[in-house]
Structure 1
Amino acid sequence: MAPKPSHEPQTRAVNLRVREDLRGLIDRAARAQGKTRSDFMIDAARRAAEDALLDQTLVRVDDDSYRHFLAVLDQPPGGEGFARLMKAPKPWQP
């Protein structure tokens, strides 16, 4: 009889060597989030991988859109929303 196909994704081990002080730091952070060391490290690595790939994303636009984008960037900020933002209390100032 053939085994039933599994619908769960296959996992594979990844072995890492880490200094003891870093392992302790990772363990404390994992406990603070209620995660295992493995789950914490996998989540952190996934986020870092996504960020690295997103940083490499190329957005292509036509010439008119690009010129409009540059023109908007060259304009000084302004308007009611900006004025209100600049008048808002700053938490770092007494």
Structure 2
Amino acid sequence: MGAGHDGVALRRQEDATCPRVPAGTGDNLLPQISAEPEPRRRLISVRAPDSDMDLIDTAARMAGQSRSAFMLTASLQRARQILADRTRFELDEDHWRAFHAALEAPPTAEAQAALERLLRRRPTGWEEVRG
């Protein structure tokens, strides 16, 4: 396992049934699970059409949760999914070896030229750093 560019966690998949858990540098992007629940301190307010609220209420009742608990659970699940999808990827053994070999290989002439062009590029617009 190692850290990739921009904090992307790279992990070799040992088994196709391997659970999707945060790995490497991506760990700090996802909330940590603790034995002690964190006290609720902030209010989340959402405006929604009546039809959406009815749907949420129905699903919450079926899940045996309050509307607030249901919405918070669903939001947290989606947030974790989005963060995990953008902070790590898994490869089987063959693809891991190919990926690792590509990282270790010297850059092609085309890649080297592209990198040199990028490094010579002058920032424009919002990219400019002003002192």
Deviations 1:27-74 (A, max 9, x none): 000000110000000000000000000011145xxxx943178xxxxx
| TM-score, L = length of structure 2 | 0.40
CA distance in 2, matches of 1:20, 1:40: 17
Cα distance change on mapping 1:10 and 1:36 into 2, 3 Å: closer
Q: 4+ residue runs of structure 1 moved beyond 2 angstroms?
A: 7-10
Which amino acid in 1 is paired with 2:97? Y
Equivalence map 1:71-82=2 (5 Å): none
| TM-score, L = length of structure 1 | 0.54
Where does structure 1 lack aligned partners over 5 or more consecutive residues?
1-6, 70-94
Matched, 1:25 2:55: yes
Larger Rg: 1
Corresponding residue of 1:89? none
Corresponding residue of 1:48? 78
Corresponding residue of 1:4? none
| Identity level (%) | 34
Matched, 1:16 2:46: yes
Number of equivalent positions: 61
Which amino acid in 2 is paired with 1:57? T
Where does structure 2 lack aligned partners over 5 or more consecutive residues?
1-36, 90-94, 101-131
C-alpha displacement of 1:26: 0.1
CA distance in 2, matches of 1:56, 1:14: 25
CA distance in 2, matches of 1:46, 1:65: 30
Greater strand fraction, Structure 1 or Structure 2: 2
CA distance in 2, matches of 1:32, 1:58: 33
- Compare relative contact order (CA 8 Å, sep 6+) and give the higher one, 1 or 2: 2
CA distance in 2, matches of 1:8, 1:68: 40
Which amino acid in 2 is paired with 1:49? A
